[in-house]
Structure 1
Amino acid sequence: MPGILLETMRGQRTEETPLWLMRQAGRYLPEYRALRAEKGGFLDLVYDSDAACEVTLQPIRRFGFDGAILFSDILIVPHALGQKLEFLAGEGPKLSPTLVDHALSSLEAVPERFDAIYRTVAKVSAALGPETTMLGFAGSPWTVATYMVAGEGSRDQHATREMAYRDPVAMQEIVDAIIESSVGYLSGQIKAGAEAVQLFDSWAGSLAPDQFEKWVIAPNARIVEGLKALHPDTPIIGFPKGSGEKLADYARETGVDAIGLDETVDPAWADTVLPAGMPVQGNLDPLILMSTPEAITARAVTIMETLRERPHVFNLGHGIGQFTPIENVEALVAAVRGWRG
């Protein structure tokens, strides 16, 4: 029998609300910090399949979440496309050469960089019980492209947004390469044991409406189409952070099976505009986990009550923060487990 998370993603309403948290495997856990200190840098952990498996399983052991999200990073795709990837202390990820001033054709793809990720998925999948869903993921093309073009994260994605207007042909070439690589990458994760996958579009909210259609909806629709041709029964979760009123168009036009809501979305509004019966995921503000168990419980219950008429996977509106107190995560788990719709 599949776990309740997988059932929910397939459109079933379950008695209990399934729960997992974005970035649940990471720096807020003391066991993660200990392993990171032992193994070295972030990328060393990602490409060490035994270590990445252990990190993926840590929050499952501690909290009993219904989903185990692969410990990796969205920038593995540009790394496999041939960019150099570094994670610098205090500065975040750096990609080079930057595609704002270098042609995509100057890169030499290294697809074997995916192999360690597939091994991690297989190891985690073998270690999980049937009640826990193995979740794979990739970054959506627009978000990945912003890093490939600028070489790093930015507040408003200025360089990539400008390039999309100034040289849409070159931009389309980059996005096409990401789409092709991502379909193969996600298919590899599914073959290795991923039971559902999520597309993270963390910077979708920075685009004007016509650009959103071109660089968010259309590329994600192509990934979904490509994956569904290969794995028609694997649920795909779309998470277009910051998309606001464009969320309904995204849900209808991309073909994703479920929609992740960020913390700025009113669940009541989402319930009225999203397709009937479409599973939703979210959307507790991660910062409320810095408050009190009472506040956390009250907001969690409100979200679950608001979305009680459709399949709902409880999650945060974005990734959990590194300074989040463990006891507050425990309070959230207790609130979700104790609620019945």
Structure 2
Amino acid sequence: MTFSKPAKPFLAALAGQRQPRPPVWLMRQAGRYLPEYREIRARAASFLDFCYTPAFTVEATLQPIRRFGFDAAILFSDILVVPDALGQTVSFESGEGPRLDPITDAEGLSRLKAEPDWQKLSPVFETLDRLKTALPGDVALIGFCGAPWTVASYMIAGRGTPDQAPARLIAYRQPNLFAALIDRLVEASAEYLARQIAAGAEAVQVFDSWAGVLPPAEFERWCVKPVAALVAKVKAKAPKTPVIAFPRGAATQLAKFAGMAGVSAIGLDTAVEPAAAVAALPGDLALQGNLDPLALVAGGAALDEGIDRVLQGFGSRAHIFNLGHGILPETPVAHVERMMARVRSA
């Protein structure tokens, strides 16, 4: 087999070109497991203040690139800056996660802006603009947003919940209200990604972190169709920019995302067997994943065996090495170094 040698292996993999060794990045690769991140995070009054300060977010994005040499950097931000820019009250409580003023009725929906306050989000675009020149020439820059269903679930519950029951109940009881919120998020998120691309993002990822809690009919209605609409709007403005879809927990419904027009790659969660995904999903689609984050925490034989399963399982496809979900705060830095050494030597 002849391998290409592009300037940016991550982008080549997204174009369906299998690389001599898979390009690597990790979800949440900039974060609390890094001592240098903890040091700069302590300087900001709040997490949102941190997210809206380019001096901090540029540095946080660059830290894992400097330390590990990943093939892609992902913008340091949060999926909930979109509801924040739409006018919903958003905060982050230490040790407890996000807190939002819940939307439970039409009055709550009416308090949202028709479109995000783009001035409020301007620090995000400034961060991307700065990163364009700050990153090494062979490292790609990823932008992202949350999928409409996942973001809506936080907006309705006011926090993360185990099964997103508050959003699911609103969707059943007040489908028109829920559809209006989803439509607002499709429009806002598509424009948000388009502006990230204009600012310098070379690929974007749509995180549907709570896709797996919905039954098939609701999955089609609230996950598949909104993401398809979002992707179509992004591709209409940036047709050459690859889009990665990450529908966590999609399981047997993964093919619905894999067949979506405009999607270049599918992010696979920990529960997906690599060889099964290779066999079941379209051959021109890049696959991303899916080492268990807990294997990375455990280290030793568990980590080595997990890396081998991923490398062997995806060996015949255009593959981007990643985790099946975000890196955990308790992950030892030495284990990430070992993972990188193993993947680089593959």
Give the TM-score taking structure 2 as reference length. 0.95
User: Residue in 1 aligned with 2:61?
Assistant: 56
Question: Is residue 27 of structure 2 the alignment partner of residue 22 of structure 1?
Answer: yes
Whole-angstrom distance in 1 between the partners of 2:117 and 2:73: 27
CA contact (8 A) 1:220 1:254 kept: no
CA deviations on 1:138-186 (whole Å, 9 max, x unpaired) are: 0000000001111111011011001111111111100011010011100
Q: Give the counterpart of 2:165 among 150, 158, 182.
A: 158
Question: Is residue 331 of structure 2 the alignment partner of residue 327 of structure 1?
Answer: no
User: Residue in 1 aligned with 2:103?
Assistant: 99
CA deviations on 1:211-253 (whole Å, 9 max, x unpaired) are: 0000110000001110111111110000000010000122113
CA contact (8 A) 1:81 1:111 kept: no
Whole-angstrom distance in 2 between the partners of 1:255 and 1:195: 15
Once the two structures are overlaid, the 10-residue window that deviates more, 318-327 or 265-274, is: 265-274
CA-atom RMSD in angstroms: 1.1
Question: Is residue 301 of structure 2 the alignment partner of residue 297 of structure 1?
Answer: no
Amino acid at match of 2:78: D
CA deviations on 1:35-68 (whole Å, 9 max, x unpaired) are: 1112232111100011100000000000000010
Amino acid at match of 1:199: V
Question: Is residue 134 of structure 2 the alignment partner of residue 127 of structure 1?
Answer: yes
User: Residue in 1 aligned with 2:265?
Assistant: 258
Aligned residues: 338
Amino acid at match of 1:165: Y
Deviation at 1:69, TM superposition (A): 0.6
Whole-angstrom distance in 1 between the partners of 2:203 and 2:229: 17
Give the TM-score taking structure 1 as reference length. 0.97
User: Residue in 2 aligned with 1:32?
Assistant: 37
Question: Is residue 287 of structure 2 the alignment partner of residue 283 of structure 1?
Answer: no
Amino acid at match of 2:264: D
1:207–1:78 Cα change, 3 Å: same
List aligned pairs for 1:181-192, cutoff 5 A: 181-192=188-199
Q: Give the counterpart of 2:83 among 62, 78, 81.
A: 78
List aligned pairs for 1:166-177, cutoff 5 A: 166-177=173-184
Whole-angstrom distance in 1 between the partners of 2:44 and 2:160: 25
Whole-angstrom distance in 2 between the partners of 1:147 and 1:249: 24
Whole-angstrom distance in 1 between the partners of 2:158 and 2:52: 21
Q: Give the counterpart of 1:318 among 300, 319, 325.
A: 325
SS of residue matched to 2:284? coil
Deviation at 1:111, TM superposition (A): 2.8
SS of residue matched to 1:309? coil
Deviation at 1:254, TM superposition (A): 5.2
Whole-angstrom distance in 2 between the partners of 1:107 and 1:140: 18
Whole-angstrom distance in 1 between the partners of 2:306 and 2:162: 29
Whole-angstrom distance in 1 between the partners of 2:318 and 2:89: 41
Give the unaligned 5+ runs of structure 1. Answer: none
Give the unaligned 5+ runs of structure 2. Answer: 1-5
Deviation at 1:332, TM superposition (A): 0.4
